Amino acid sequence: MNRNINLLAILGLTLLLACIKPFDPVIDSNAASKYVVSGRVTNAEGWQEVQVSLSSPIESPEYIPAGSCQVTILDDKGNLFAMEEYLPGLYRVWMDQQYLVPGTSYQVKVLTPDGEELESGFDRMPIGPSIDSVYFHVEDIPTTDPGINHRVVQFYVDLNAIGDYSQYYQWEIVETWEYEAALPVEYYYDGTFHEVRPPDYTNKVCWITKSVKNIFTVSTRSLSQNIYNQYPLQTVDGTSSSRLGIMYSTLVSQLALSEKAYNYWDELRINSNEQGGLYEKQPYAIKGNLVNVSNPDKYVLGYFYAASETSRRYFYHDIEGIVLDFNDECYQTATFPYFWQSVMPEEYPVYYFYNESGALRILNPSCVDCRLQGGTTVKPAFWPE
């Protein structure tokens, strides 16, 4: 009897599995082909930039610049500023301070090569205060292992906007850090053994500059005062990268926004930061302020806005309480019999050194060339001596 029940159960399970089909959602790649226009005007004299591109299929995302467009910024006082294309899909125009006044509204218009007219709504530039203060706390955050924490540097910003200032803000961060390759070039082999004296430090020290991808927005509209203290910015630790190894710098830009611009960026923040499973964190089209005048049925992505911007740079080094244990991507290996005879010309040069015991060790190129970790040996103009 039990045997018959087991056979029936197995048969039922087999039939059930045969009826289950994998779910492969059908995504129309053509539906993703939309114009994307993004850019802004700030109160700082200089180049104002707009990017025009085409959205790519969700299954193969890529940046597709839209070149040869006619792009113009307009203000509500009748001024027009024709932009030049300085890189594919990137347009810019220099605007003097007299045209960048809070209280003025700005709009962008785009004429594409195929004759489609795209335009944004007017966005009014608000008034914003200077950055109050940026600082950090060394904090312990929980890990997936119960009872084990991970120590990080958590950065914060304070907002003090008491007065006739906007209630809507965004922060953008560009980080720069100095790091080093493990060793200078002392010995290398390219069919001939070379000893470099003095050692070559040309590619020993590098700097990397990157924008922090997180979106940071806050509004004080529900608060009793136009103040917000200890808003969390980026988190940095001493194990995931070399950021804190020598010196770390952040350029913090504070943007005072209109309510509509804030709502757009805050929705983007929520979408990019939320966690979830399958299809809970897929990209989706957040409605911006651009329309296709030629064909209103064609959806246009992106946003064009005006902001009051203030920026300040900060430097940090030797942060107490942080353990530095990052991978410098340098590896050394011992030679084996007939090693040098096995080296092919396409592998030249082969770097090596002698350790404290006098044993010869082969180095991978990252050990002597910091550029291979993504940086440059050109010291930033703002870097301290």
Both 275 and 303 in a single domain?
Answer: yes
Q: Judge if 175 and 101 occupy the same domain.
A: no
Same domain? 85 vs 165? no
| 149 and 266 co-located in one domain | yes
Strands 133-142 and 149-160 come out as: antiparallel
Contact call for residues 316 and 50 (beta carbons, < 8 A): no
Q: What's residue 276's pLDDT?
A: 40
Say if 175 falls within a structural domain. yes
119: domain CATH number?
2.60.40.1930
For the entire predicted model, the pTM comes to 0.85
Does residue 139 share a domain with residue 78?
no
State how far the Cα of 325 lies from the Cα of 78, in Å rounded to an integer: 58
Residue 149: its pLDDT value, please?
83
Q: Are residues 154 and 246 in the same domain?
A: yes
Amino acid of residue 77: K
Residue ending a domain, among 89, 107, 124, is 124
Instruction: Let me know whether 106 and 145 are in one domain.
Output: no
The two structure tokens encoding residue 130: 């200077």
Q: Are residues 183 and 113 in the same domain?
A: no
Q: How far apart are CA 282 and CA 286, in angstroms?
A: 12
CA distance linking residue 330 with residue 309, whole number of Å? 41
> How far, in Å, CA of 245 to CA of 325, rounded?
9
| DSSP H/E element including 270 | helix 259-273
Query: Considering 124, 157, 191, which residue would you say is the last residue of a domain?
Result: 124
pLDDT of residue 273: 67
User: Element (H or E) spanning 254, and its range?
Assistant: strand 247-256
Over residues 121-179, the pLDDT tens digits come to: 999 999 999 999 999 999 998 888 887 888 999 999 999 999 999 999 999 999 999 99
Q: Which long-range contacts (CB under 8 A, 24 or more apart) does 271-277 make?
A: 272/214, 272/215, 273/214, 273/215
Judge contact between 74 and 23, C-beta under 8 A.
no
139-148 contacts at long range (C-beta below 8 A, 24 or more positions apart) = 141/235
Q: Token match 């983007």: residue?
A: 268
Residue 146's domain spans which residues?
A: 133-316
In the listed set 103, 124, 145, which residue is the last one of a domain according to the structure?
124
The confidence score (pLDDT) of residue 183 equals: 96
165 closest CA partner among 310, 275, 382, 264 = 310
pLDDT in tens, the chain (385 residues): 444 444 444 434 343 334 333 333 333 444 558 999 999 999 999 999 999 999 887 777 888 999 999 999 999 999 999 999 999 999 999 999 999 999 999 999 999 999 999 999 999 999 999 999 999 999 998 888 887 888 999 999 999 999 999 999 999 999 999 999 999 999 999 999 999 999 999 999 999 999 999 999 999 999 999 999 999 999 999 988 899 999 999 999 999 999 999 999 999 999 886 544 333 434 456 889 999 999 999 999 999 999 999 999 999 999 999 989 888 899 999 999 999 999 999 999 999 999 999 999 999 999 999 999 999 999 999 999 8
In a shared domain, residues 82 and 53: yes
HSE on the CB side for 345, CA within 13 Å?
Answer: 0
Query: What is the DSSP track for 329-348?
Result: ---EEE--TTHHHH--GGGP
Residues 215 and 185 in one domain: yes
